[in-house]
Amino acid sequence: MLLRGEWYTADTPYQPEVSQGTLQSIYEYESLIAELTGLDVVSASHYDGAAATAEGALMTCRATRRERVLVSRAVHPDYRATIRTYLSVGGLVVDEIPLVADGPAAGTTDLAALQHMLADESEPVAGVVVANPNFLGLLEPMAEVGRLAHAAGAQFVSVVEPVSLGVLLPPGGYGADIAAGEGQPLGIPLQYGGPYLGLLASTEALVRQIPGRLVGLTKDLDGRRAFVMTLRAREQDIRREKAASNICTNQALLALAASIYLAAIGPHGLRDVAALGAAHAAALEDALADAGASRLHPGPYLNEFAIRVPDAAAVHRGLLDRDVLAGLVLAEAEPEDPSLADGLLVCATEVTTKDDIDRFASALRAELRKTDRIPAVPVAGGVAS
Amino acid sequence: MSVTGPRLQPVLFERSKPGRGDGKVPHPPKDALDRVPSDQLRAAPPALPELNEPEVVRHYVNLSQLNHAVDTGFYPLGSCTMKFNPKLNEWAARLPGFAGLHPEAPDEIAQGTLQLLFELEAMLAEISGMRAVSLQPAAGAQGELTGILMIRAYHRSRGDVERTDVLVPDSAHGTNPATATMAGFRTVNVPSAPDGGVDVDAFRAALGPRTAAVMITNPSTLGLFEPRIGELLSAVHEAGALAYMDGANLNAILGRFKPGEAGFDVMHFNVHKTFSTPHGGGGPGAGPVGVGETLLPFLPWPRVLRETDGSFRRERPGERPTSIGRLRSFVGNTGVLVRAYAYIRAHGTALAEVTNDAVLAANYLKQRLAADGSYDIPFGRPCKHEFVASSTSLRKETGVRTLDVAKRLIDFGFHPPTVYFPLTVDEAMLIEPTETESLETLDAFADALIEIAAEARSSPEIVTGAPQTAPVRRLDEATAARQPDLRWRPMTGRQMPCPD
């Protein structure tokens, strides 16, 4: 569908009479993502998940007129770096919420630390940013995070993975004010990092704060239903230095791709995709444990988890020689977190086959034996201090 | 009359039938979610529409046909450079080695893509006269933010924290002042000179120890080259400020003017304008940023580096502490950048001819309209790739406004130009024909504008009632803003629910 020139060679729908295709598709995108997130206002796309999350963090500062944002350390490192850049000006402060070090909640956002940080009245908090599933694949206590944030007068930004919302409770279901995330899993090719799709949604209360284009339903002179860009007084071409953001070009074609994916797969299909990923991940966990690599954290996950592999970078390279691209070396992604030094982040999706899992497990077993890397004492979970 | 009209389409949700389209994905085993705590799970799947594949395909094909696009007709949208998007570039971007490469692929299995990115950086540096280029920004506005944050970092690195102002001419794109605000600066709007150019004396008066940067679009948003640019840039640097160039109009100066050599410290490229990557209905684009020596240390990470053995790698986190950081995930909108690379390589050293033809097309159209006299041409001197016409006299004579002319152009099969921008000209139409249109198209467009002016005089209601042939007539934008309906609500139709 995306190969049609009518879609990809049009520009922003400035002239609605000759842009009803694009406008209706954006309205439908807003509606589909609203169903997925449980939030009512969806902007017509941002650059990617990281930039959308940074815009979400800025929204909390505008909405609360406060200047401090708390970001969980289990938000993707690229997202945290992007938030730091976007919030590096205007006296804004970004503080990171530590993770639970050990026990059943290891690797998730430390709620006691969050509560302590929120209690500092000298620096009131505008927003709390937590991802579910988090960067380590673990499920977070989102409802509790929301309660703590709201009790302190802060807004709650939930970072989501859209396919997971086929089965997981949506942000609107646990009190998030804003949802942001990467829309790439909704049928968008990998393309070495982009173009992707920044998802950004909010409650209706924040409609004047949300950046980016919004399309609304209206009528033409003859009473026919039609769609138009609206609430434009937030945008740079109208409000200039008073705009909610400087965003102009967005990721419209990728929003269209996501809409087509969701329309084609439907609610049951999306649920099945998410559940298959979880089933395959469970099989992967068992196979990798059998091969000598147990999970790094004990808590529940959906389809992504970290395993303990001593000298993970070397093992990763060895597996590549065996034609297996074995996930992400956590020591490279999070060099400052010693608890992740032996971590390899892996995942399974709906397209992972039993053969994939067997090949990965047997290659890993061989790689671990090669250098006698199997830990002397099996680790049943928990993080070494 | 039908609520949707003959060519309009129902919303996806209206087409939905329960149970339709199930079974597209193999059903997961019953215990698939047993390891997930039940308080994390939603009670029912999201209320997405249920459709089968033929319905989805027809929906999107029919919707697409409601669009005007470069592939369906002339699209002279000033400041947007709606040139033809060569199909070869689409093929290149879809090569599986590019399209299927994971963003976290180890450098050793991403060498081809890294080499392409490295070479594209070098080509953009050559085109612009800049010292180095970052491909990370996802769009022009993000490139602007990158540039202004680098300027901020530069001043701070020198202990110069008193510079709070960014000077912007009043003809600038809205992204310029909006960017200054996002980067923590105050915007100072500087009025244009009567000839449409930047007022160098007004800039001199506004420059001072509080000036961090000036943002200049050259050629300007009026399509005019700034003849006193050297003088202006000297004054900027004497004041200790840095100069940002908005590269939106690069299509007018390829091979003719190198901003880096002229003294600009930083600029962005809109590859979806100059280098023919498709606009996608509003995006994606890519907004690479080029810098001179001064700002080199502050470029966002990760840069793409070449090792002494000829291999390529991404910069590691923390490797260059002076960097302003990241603006987004991963290296950039690679899929878009592959298209830009293909475009530049296909043109090679003949890129200057793109500019020659774009400028010729714009001047030809401008001369045809000037000779007819129905529309005002506020600035007589030769334009670059675009020009401003105005309906001020026509409106005085007939009551017909630029908005009406624009809507009537739709009935003639053309996309209207950019209207009511720049803000410095009343009843403005910013017309950018681009180099990819034929003489016949340019003539047909000029004829249409002239005929519309004649209609305005003889039967203005035809013009003010336009468009008549589009899928819809003019829209009620006021109600859309007063009672926003921003999503489909299956239960309550168009009513907004009460907040709970």
Q: pLDDT digits over A343-375, tens only?
A: 999 999 999 999 999 999 999 999 999 866 555
Domain A5-262 in CATH 3.40.640.10: yes
Query: Which chain B residues are closer than 8 Å to A8 by Cβ?
Result: 69, 85, 278-281
- In angstroms, the CA A102 to CA A104 distance is 7
What was the pLDDT predicted at B490?
64
- In angstroms, the CA B97 to CA A265 distance is 26
Q: Is B500 exposed, middle or buried (0-12, 13-18, 19+ CB in 10 A)?
A: exposed
User: Over 50: is that where the pLDDT of B445 sits?
Assistant: yes
- Is there a single domain that holds both residue B95 and residue B203? yes
- In angstroms, the CA B145 to CA B134 distance is 13
* H or E segment and range at residue B307: none
What was the pLDDT predicted at A371?
65
- Please give the average per-residue pLDDT across B465-483, as a whole number: 94
Q: How is chain A split into domains, by residue range?
A: 5-262, 267-369
What was the pLDDT predicted at B4?
52
B 239-278: CB under 8 A from A = 270, 272, 278
Task: Judge: B105–A220 Cβ closer than 8 Å, yes or no.
Answer: no
- Is there a single domain that holds both residue B402 and residue B271? no
What was the pLDDT predicted at B496?
32
Contacts of A360 (CB under 8 A, 6+ apart): A284, A287, A288, A319, A324, A326, A346
DSSP state for residue A46 in the 8-state scheme: B
Name residue B133's beta-bridge partners: B290
Domain containing residue B227: CATH number: 3.40.640.10
Nearest CB to A224 within list B4, B32, B59: B4
Average pLDDT of the residues of chain A: 95
- Please give the average per-residue pLDDT across A91-115, as a whole number: 97
Query: Which chain B residues are closer than 8 Å to A249 by Cβ?
Result: 138-141, 270, 272, 279, 282-285, 287
- In angstroms, the CA B228 to CA B192 distance is 13
- Is there a single domain that holds both residue B232 and residue B365? no
- Side-chain-side CA neighbours of B449 within 13 Å: the count stands at 30
The residue whose two tokens read 């504008």 is B449
Instruction: Kindly report, residue by residue over A10-29, the tens digit of the pLDDT.
Output: 999 999 999 999 999 999 99
- In angstroms, the CA A43 to CA A18 distance is 21
User: Over 70: is that where the pLDDT of B238 sits?
Assistant: yes
The residue whose two tokens read 């609203």 is A34
Q: How many domains does chain B have?
A: 2
Instruction: Kindly report, residue by residue over B2-57, the tens digit of the pLDDT.
Output: 445 568 999 999 999 998 877 788 999 999 999 999 999 999 999 999 999 999 99
Residue B156 touches chain A, beta carbons under 8 Å: no
User: Over 70: is that where the pLDDT of A382 sits?
Assistant: no
Beta strand spans in A64-177 (E):
68-72, 93-97, 125-132, 155-160
What was the pLDDT predicted at A374?
53
- Is there a single domain that holds both residue B301 and residue B367? no
- In angstroms, the CA B448 to CA A150 distance is 59
Query: Which chain A residues are closer than 8 Å to B468 by Cβ?
Result: none
Other CB atoms within 10 Å distance of the CB of residue B193: 15
Edge-first strand listing for the sheet containing A198-202: A41-42, A198-202, A178-182, A155-160, A125-132, A68-72, A93-97
Contacts of A303 (CB under 8 A, 6+ apart): A133, A137, A164, A274, A277, A278, A280, A281, A347, A348, A349
CA torsion sign for B473, B478, B484, B489 is: negative
Residue B109 domain flag = yes
- Please give the average per-residue pLDDT across B231-246, as a whole number: 98
DSSP B260-279: HHHT-SEEE--TTTTT----
Nearest CB to A228 within list B324, B335, B475: B475
DSSP A30-45: HHHHHHHHT-SEE-S-
Task: Judge: B334–A48 Cβ closer than 8 Å, yes or no.
Answer: no
Residue B8 domain flag = no
Interface test with B, best of A3, A9, A82 (most B CBs within 10 A): A9
Q: What's the complex ipTM?
A: 0.96
Q: What is A267-369's CATH number?
A: 3.90.1150.10
* Two tokens, residue A134: 């988090």
Residue B21 domain flag = no
- Is there a single domain that holds both residue B276 and residue B386? no
Residue B387 domain flag = yes
* Two tokens, residue B441: 């198209």
> Domain boundary residue among B302, B329, B350?
B350
Residue B334 domain flag = yes
User: Over 80: is that where the pLDDT of B218 sits?
Assistant: yes
- In angstroms, the CA A99 to CA A75 distance is 11
- Please give the average per-residue pLDDT across B230-251, as a whole number: 97
What was the pLDDT predicted at B491?
52
Residue B61 domain flag = no
Residue B487 domain flag = no
Name residue A158's beta-bridge partners: A130, A179
Nearest to A194 by CA among A47, A76, A328: A47
A vs B, Cβ pairs < 8 A, gives 503
What was the pLDDT predicted at B119?
98
Higher pLDDT: A154 or B21? It is: A154
- Is there a single domain that holds both residue B363 and residue B327? no
CA torsion sign for B135, B141, B145, B148 is: positive
Task: Judge: A19–B66 Cβ closer than 8 Å, yes or no.
Answer: yes
* Two tokens, residue A131: 């991802």
- Is there a single domain that holds both residue B141 and residue B244? yes
What was the pLDDT predicted at B24?
81
Name residue B428's beta-bridge partners: B390
For residue B219, cis peptide bond before it (omega within 30 degrees of 0): yes
- Is there a single domain that holds both residue B411 and residue B295? no
Residue B497 domain flag = no
Task: Judge: B182–A248 Cβ closer than 8 Å, yes or no.
Answer: no
User: Over 80: is that where the pLDDT of A377 sits?
Assistant: no
- In angstroms, the CA A289 to CA A311 distance is 17
- Please give the average per-residue pLDDT across B302-326, as a whole number: 95
Cβ atoms of B85 and A25 closer than 8 Å = no
Other CB atoms within 10 Å distance of the CB of residue B95: 12
DSSP A223-277: S-EEEEE--GGGSHHHHGGGSS----S--HHHHHHHHHHHHHHHHHHHHHHHHHH
What was the pLDDT predicted at A385?
35
| Lowest-confidence segment of A199-203, A321-325, B6-10, B151-155 by average pLDDT | B6-10
Question: How far from each other are the two terminal CA atoms of chain B, in whole angstroms?
Answer: 37
- Is there a single domain that holds both residue B368 and residue B328? no
Interface test with A, best of B41, B57, B66, B270 (most A CBs within 10 A): B66
Name residue B320's beta-bridge partners: none
Angle, vertex CA B185, rays to CA B183 and CA B189, nearest 5 = 120
Average pLDDT of the residues of chain B: 94
B26/chain A closest Cα distance in angstroms: 7
The residue whose two tokens read 């970092």 is B153
B190/chain A closest Cα distance in angstroms: 14
Cβ atoms of A202 and A212 closer than 8 Å = no
> Domain boundary residue among B325, B350, B375?
B350
* Two tokens, residue A333: 């992604």
Chain A residue with CA closest to B110: the answer is A192
pTM: 0.96
Cβ atoms of A125 and A177 closer than 8 Å = no
Chain A residue with CA closest to B281: the answer is A11
- Please give the average per-residue pLDDT across B418-437, as a whole number: 96
- Please give the average per-residue pLDDT across A253-267, as a whole number: 97
User: By residue range, what is the domain housing residue B370?
Assistant: 352-479
Query: Which chain A residues are closer than 8 Å to B334 by Cβ?
Result: 191-194
| Lowest-confidence segment of B349-358, B432-441, B451-460, B490-499 by average pLDDT | B490-499
What was the pLDDT predicted at B318?
86
What was the pLDDT predicted at B489?
87
- Is there a single domain that holds both residue B367 and residue B299? no
> Domain boundary residue among B316, B350, B384?
B350
Phi, psi torsion values for B33, nearest 5 degrees:
-110, 15
- Is there a single domain that holds both residue B221 and residue B286? yes
Domain containing residue B474: CATH number: 3.90.1150.10
A63 to A127, A205, B182, B460: CA distances (angstroms): 9, 9, 16, 47
- Is there a single domain that holds both residue B315 and residue B405? no
Percentage of residues of chain B with pLDDT beyond 90: 92
Instruction: Kindly report, residue by residue over A55-66, the tens digit of the pLDDT.
Output: 999 999 999 999
- In angstroms, the CA A303 to CA A245 distance is 34
Query: Which chain A residues are closer than 8 Å to B13 by Cβ?
Result: 28, 31
Percentage of residues of chain A with pLDDT beyond 70: 96
What was the pLDDT predicted at B22?
77
Query: Which chain A residues are closer than 8 Å to B469 by Cβ?
Result: none
Cβ atoms of B74 and B414 closer than 8 Å = yes
What was the pLDDT predicted at B196?
86
